[in-house]
Amino acid sequence: MRILILGGTQEAFEAANFLHGQNHKVTTAMAGATLNPKRPKGKFITGGFGGPNGLSTYLETNDIDLLIDATHPFAAKMSSGAVISCEKSKVPLIRLIREPFEERDGANWWRVDGNAQAAEIIPVGSAVFLTIGRKGLEPYLSRPDLRFLIRSIEPIKPELPENFTAIEQRPPFNVGEELELMKRESITHLVCKDSGGEQTSAKLEAAFMLRVQVIMISRPPLPPAREVNSLDELKQALAQLPGSGARSRFLPWLRNIWAKSES
């Protein structure tokens, strides 16, 4: 099959390598936000498609048999566009998305709907570990009464205020490293997105051990789609797809999947 993967996650990387090894013609597309992304096997493109219409054109022009949305769980705009594009182009869609983080007994996370709410509820004088990436910092910039440690893969620009310390690190992280970092910086609160995944879960274990308060930003809602949570589940879903070259049958198949997702 000709498969297009909307990437940017470890799951996308692993799926591309697996499918390439199964002799599928795989193209991985990334938006280009990361300067030095991991390049999976197969074809690799960056820069986006110009919205759902542009993605539909790409699917049709390149005779794509399957679209796998393996973007970040918070990439709601891209995931919504993928659904629209696949319905228009009659190309089947599978969303490969990590399961949310699991709150263990006694953790007592504060759950919020976004960065504005997170920034608002942090007590005065707290030392905050921000693990939300480079975007969405505006609400925190208005809290000079707090001390922030922010971690990101790429450098943060423009220059941050004096109450911010920025570090550049790429996952995965282990519990020992996270414990050392939080103790050294006397962290009292951890702000993170409910992105899921084993590569970044160590911070939650460290926060639990140190009794650091976790402020968890909930995932944005996504339109219904066939979802799988692992590479093993993706393999099972691939076995259920209609045969390649019969796109006239794809749209009813998609609608049936959406109906099941909504029930």
> Binning pLDDT at 50, 70 and 90, where does residue 154 land?
confident
User: Token pair for residue 69?
Assistant: 């949305």
DSSP 171-234: S---HHHHHHHHHHTT--EEEEE----GGGTHHHHHHHHHTPEEEEEPPPP----EEESSHHHH
Radius of gyration from C-alpha coordinates of the chain? 20
Give mean pLDDT, residues 85-102.
95
Fold of 110-217: Rossmann fold (3.40.50)
pLDDT in tens, 164-216: 999 999 888 999 999 999 999 999 999 999 999 888 899 999 999 999 999 99
CATH of 2-99+221-262 given 1.10.150.20, 3.50.50.60, 1.20.910.10, 3.40.50.20 = 3.40.50.20
Q: What is the pLDDT of residue 12?
A: 95
Buried b (16+ CB within 10 A) or exposed e, 50-84: eebeebbebbeeeebbbbbbbbbbbbeebbbbbbe
The pLDDT of residue 243 is above 70? no
Task: Please tell me whether residue 89 adopts helix, strand or coil conformation.
Answer: helix
CB 203 within 8 A of CB 129: yes
The pLDDT of residue 40 is above 80? yes
DSSP 40: -
Name the residue with higher pLDDT: 255 or 130.
130
**Minimal CA–CA distance to 79: which of 251, 224, 215?**
224
Collect all residues with Cβ–Cβ distance below 8 Å to 47 and sequence separation of at least 6.
31, 32
- Residue type for 228, please? V
What is the pTM (predicted TM-score) of this model? 0.86
> Binning pLDDT at 50, 70 and 90, where does residue 242 land?
low
Collect all residues with Cβ–Cβ distance below 8 Å to 167 and sequence separation of at least 6.
149, 150, 151, 152
> Both ends of the chain: CA-CA distance in Å?
30
Q: What is the pLDDT of residue 70?
A: 97
Collect all residues with Cβ–Cβ distance below 8 Å to 7 and sequence separation of at least 6.
13, 16, 28, 29, 30, 37, 40, 70, 71
DSSP 131: E
Q: What is the pLDDT of residue 198?
A: 87
Query: CATH 3.40.50.20 region(s) of the chain?
Result: 2-99+221-262
Query: CATH 3.40.50.720 region(s) of the chain?
Result: 110-217
